[in-house]
Amino acid sequence: MTHLLIIEGNSPELLEKMAQAGQLSDSQSYSAALLACQPDLSIDFFQPYHADSDLTKLSLDQYDGVVFTGSSVNWSVDEPEAAPLRETMEKVFANGIPTLGSCNGMQLGAVVLGGEVASSPNGRELGMAKNIKLTDAGAKHPIHQGREDDYACSCVHRDEVSKLPAGAILTAGNQHSPVQAFVYERDGIQFWGMQYHPELSPERIAELVAGEGLFNTDPELAEHLNKVAQDSESESVAALGIKPSDLAPKMRMREIDNWLKMIQP
């Protein structure tokens, strides 16, 4: 059985707010997506920002892969507050475990590997990351196998990768954020990252952009997201600038499924 570890990117305070609102945490959402792709997984969780979490006692030998989730914290992954998360990823990389990161998790990977992040000059990208184009390398790489070019996927982010680490391979980008996905596979490290959220349904993104938090926006976007979640042929599909095929769960979670196939022991 494949044994995975999910690293939660949110603080205990944010996790408590999510629980009070009846929402899944980022690690719970990722766990659900992973199990939807492969039901017979064994999954554990770790919270670097929790005061009781002791990284020195985290044994990684038992895991076939590690996932770093998104996050709604107010700080960027290169700031002092994110040190516990960076230290966790450094330990994972030092142990040579295949790693997947989404949104905050991808930005974290870029910084830990020597790249840079910054607030996007285009502002927040909310709802769906649209018109994502595969690079020549991305079209050939297993991370996007089965993807249609010019695709869209669930997203909600403020920061982006502004400089790729030396040796990283850009696999996808769009007009809003040129780095929508990259891989780093050298020096004993195997990292796949996406700026978008293949694990999150449109309904979950609607919760994030409609609530009072880091990503709140006008309710119209949330309404469109909820409509397309119910009907992939809804007029809201055109309003969001996406294709019905982008909403199919198997297509949305394509990178997750490809990663699971890659790490099979």
Catalytic site residue 103? yes
Which listed residue (125, 199, 207, 255) is catalytic? Answer: 199
- What are the tokens at 174? 């769009």
All residues at 6 or more sequence positions from 93 whose CB lies less than 8 Å from its CB, including other chains:
99, 112, 113, 188, 189, 191
Within 10 A of 214 (CB to CB), how many other CB atoms are there? 15
Which listed residue (8, 37, 103, 255) is catalytic? Answer: 103
CA distances from 213 to 16, 121, 124, 199, 207 (A): 13, 20, 13, 20, 10
CA distances from 159 to 42, 104, 130, 196 (A): 32, 8, 17, 12
Catalytic site residue 37? no
Which listed residue (144, 157, 197, 224) is catalytic? Answer: 197
d(CA 144, CA 54): 35
3-state DSSP assignment of residue 252? helix
Q: Which amino acid is at 100?
A: L
- Cα dihedral sign, 3-106-72-211: negative
Catalytic site residue 153? no
Tell me if 175 sits within 8 A of 131, measured CB to CB.
Answer: yes
CA distances from 52 to 5, 6, 59, 127, 196 (A): 17, 17, 16, 34, 30
> Catalytic amino acids?
103, 197, 199
